Chains A and B, each alone.
Chain A
Amino acid sequence: MTAGPVTGLAALQAALAAEDAAIFGYGVAGAHLSGTRQSAAEQDWTGHNEARDTLTAMIAKLGAIPAAAQAFYQLPFAVHDAASATALAAYLEDGVTRAYLGLVAVSDQRLRTFGALAMQGSAERAAFWRGSTQAFPGLEAS
């Protein structure tokens, strides 16, 4: 069974969910970072809050109710030091990149462009935290 085409609304809700998870995750990561890394985490946390607000407004404009953030998110691994906090930040950005890539597959051309531009930002942040670039951000490694 193959999945049908993703609607713009569903893709926006998925992007919103990813942003909410990133906001939560950066709160955890930032607590284990210091100096310029902590400043970078704070800046990224702010950016994800702004992106959440943007997505919330876009969803509401479509006449839908934005999915509410969860109180707690399961982290992919234990975060107990700067190294694991840095890895978490990269993980979060990868997830956000995948979510915005979903928007690129919808039929609405404006949403495609929005998603493509948004994933550039998250891919850049992921590269910062990872310390290296990727050939295909958001796509499975091939």
Chain B
Amino acid sequence: MPDILPRRRLLAASAAALPALLATAGCRSSDAFAGPDPLAGRPALSPDVVTLQAVIAAERAMIALYQVAVHNDLRPADRARGLEGLLGQHRQHLGQLLARLAVPSGAPSASSSPSTSPSARPITGPDRVTIAQLRAAERASATDLVRRLVTVPPALAQLFASIAASDATHAVALAGYGPG
């Protein structure tokens, strides 16, 4: 390989000469790289991903409500078991929603947007949750999901619709537990 050494010398000489060339051109070396960096860009999230993240955040909030309700509502035992059953179904919802989430690497979403982050983090909420509040939350969730499903791909729309239907049945089931 007889030509390697001359090429290396040429490259070294070019690197050494670069600051002088830049100075001649009236700019500092850092200015030469001040333009857009195509490798540092964060991909924008698609509207579907943003929607899914919002639904995931709402499902997490619902689970947090149920956890408070279950924790503070151990009697009667039948009602506590019923609430745990509904909580379990919400955890199933969350699992299916998370399975559909594919966020591009480096995207600004998951960690920088607390309101829509699907990452596991403690959700602060009320110290006590009534059955009436759970019912209202279930109804609101069903309504929100139906509103959101019109713009997402068919398979995701069907998942939203199914979860909305489940939430609607939860609201009816909760009616049997009384207001408290």
Residues of A within 8 A of B (CB): 5, 97, 101, 104-106, 109, 112-113, 115-117, 119-120, 122-124, 126-128, 132-139, 142
Contact = CB atoms under 8 A, between A and B. Distances in A.
Contact of B173 (A104, A127, A135, A136): A127
A119 to B, nearest CB: 5
Contacts of B134: none
A44 to B, nearest CB: 14
A97 B93 CA distance: 18
B89 A119 contact: no
A138 B161 contact: yes
15 contacts: A5-B154, A105-B154, A115-B161, A116-B157, A124-B169, A127-B169, A128-B172, A133-B173, A134-B89, A136-B93, A136-B96, A136-B159, A136-B166, A138-B165, A142-B96
Interface string B146-169: 100111001101111111111011
Contacts of A127: 169, 172-173
Contacts of B85: 132-133
B144 to A, nearest CB: 12
Given A104-B157, A127-B173, A137 B162 contact: yes
Main secondary structure of the interface of A (DSSP, over half): helix
Closest 6 A/B residue pairs (Cβ): A105-B154, A123-B165, A135-B89, A116-B161, A120-B168, A109-B150
B172 A124 contact: yes
B69 interface: no
B14 interface: no
Given A101-B162, A137-B165, A139-B158, 20 more contacts: A5-B154, A104-B154, A104-B158, A104-B161, A106-B154, A112-B149, A113-B149, A116-B146, A117-B146, A119-B165, A120-B168, A120-B169, A123-B166, A123-B168, A124-B165, A124-B169, A132-B85, A136-B93, A137-B162, A138-B162
A70 B120 CA distance: 52
Contacts, number: 92
A113 B145 CA distance: 10
Nearest to B145: A116
Most buried by B among A106, A128, A139: A139
B92 interface: yes
Contacts of A115: 161
A137 B150 contact: no
Contacts of B173: 127, 133
Contacts of A101: 158, 161-162
Most buried by A among B85, B89, B161: B161
B154 A120 contact: no
Nearest to B92: A135
A67 to B, nearest CB: 23
A109 to B, nearest CB: 4
